[in-house]
Amino acid sequence: MKFILSVVIATSSLFAAVSAHAIVKRAPPAGPHWDYSGDKTGPDHWGLLDPAYVTCESGMQQSPVDINKESLSRFVHCAKKALTFDYKPVKDAVAHFNGHTVEIDWTPGAKTHNNSIAIGKKQYNLIQFHFHTPSEHRINGRHADAELHLVHRNPVDKSLAVIGVLLQAQARNVPFFHYLTALQKKVHADKHSAVAAAPGTTSAIIEELLKDSVCAGTQPTSEEATKVDYPLPSVDFEPLVRALKGFTPRWEYSGSLTTPPCSENVAWNVMHDPYPIGLDQLRALVDLQGYNARDIEDSRGGSSHK
């Protein structure tokens, strides 16, 4: 699969003036601080930060992985059979930056429809979705511009299943991601200034931008940004599901969370076909969350592409 990598590194700084009505108190994140930097709180040290994170270092089925000829012959399965799913619009969702990623979540109610997927005889309900820039999974060693994770949980044993959607930038904005630029403007309380991307940007240039601008993992947002919500009256998944042909075809494998505590036995479903994201939306996403992709894991003994 060929991806045109056109990730744009936004360099605007955070303005402190966020309107008072946009501030919502949030509970501090549980556990010790971790990030995507190259220092002692970065991915190479996650397993040492807390006993609860030891799987990040000692796990044998860690994610993300590079999907290539080797992994397909060993533990990744290409599924062409339709995935059983039941998706309807979600009401009263909230988009926010949680300190690590832009996340969209909601509070289930008595009348809330449980968007779900079925794997075997197990049902998993959608609980939130979030983003990584660039993509965490790679195809034949290559990143996509970003990756969307639809996180599902079984209501009985609390096991997880994640649908990973590789995102590819295009000139036009995409309606499904309209909240990204809106959230960015609300965080900054001003229009952003971003690095403009030239048409036909090559992957080599993109890699240099990533290396020079955000590979150190420094988040361009402040702690105040984690208190800003952008309400979404409704999230309609129909355009996404239709474009992904009902989540088929896809690559399946058993892996882990890609963030601490890196718990394993996560049922991964990485979509074969990419989904578009607008350049302005990608700029907003990178501006909000920076570089937040864990390196490829080779815990199964295969070759590493770190």
- 99-132 pLDDT tens trace: 899 999 999 877 778 999 999 999 999 999 999 9
Domain that holds residue 86: 20-25+35-289
Catalytic-role residue among 33, 77, 96, 100? 100
Question: Do the domain assignments include residue 6?
Answer: no
Q: In CATH, what number is assigned to the domain containing residue 151?
A: 3.10.200.10
Question: Do the domain assignments include residue 305?
Answer: no
pLDDT at residue 110, as a whole number: 76
Beta carbons within 8 Å of 42's beta carbon, 6+ residues apart: 34, 35, 36, 217
Question: Do the domain assignments include residue 234?
Answer: yes
pTM score of the predicted model: 0.83
pLDDT at residue 112, as a whole number: 79
Strands 138-139 and 122-132: unpaired
User: What are 16's two structure tokens?
Assistant: 């402190």
Instruction: State pLDDT tens for residues 250-277.
Output: 999 999 999 999 999 999 999 999 999 9
- For the chain, the maximum distance between any two Cα atoms, rounded to a whole number of angstroms, is 54
Closest listed residue to residue 290, CA positions, set 184, 163, 164, 170: 184
Question: Do the domain assignments include residue 8?
Answer: no
Question: Do the domain assignments include residue 4?
Answer: no
Reduce the DSSP state of residue 284 to 3 states and report it: helix
Question: Do the domain assignments include residue 301?
Answer: no
pLDDT at residue 304, as a whole number: 45
Question: Do the domain assignments include residue 153?
Answer: yes
- 305 catalytic residue (yes or no): no
Question: Do the domain assignments include residue 276?
Answer: yes
64 with 136: CB under 8 angstroms? yes
Instruction: In whole angstroms, give the CA distance from residue 291 to residue 100.
Output: 9
Instruction: In whole angstroms, give the CA distance from residue 62 to residue 80.
Output: 24
Q: For the chain, what is the domain count?
A: 1
Q: pLDDT band for position 31 (50/70/90)? A: confident
Instruction: State pLDDT tens for residues 71-105.
Output: 999 999 999 999 999 999 999 999 999 989 999 99
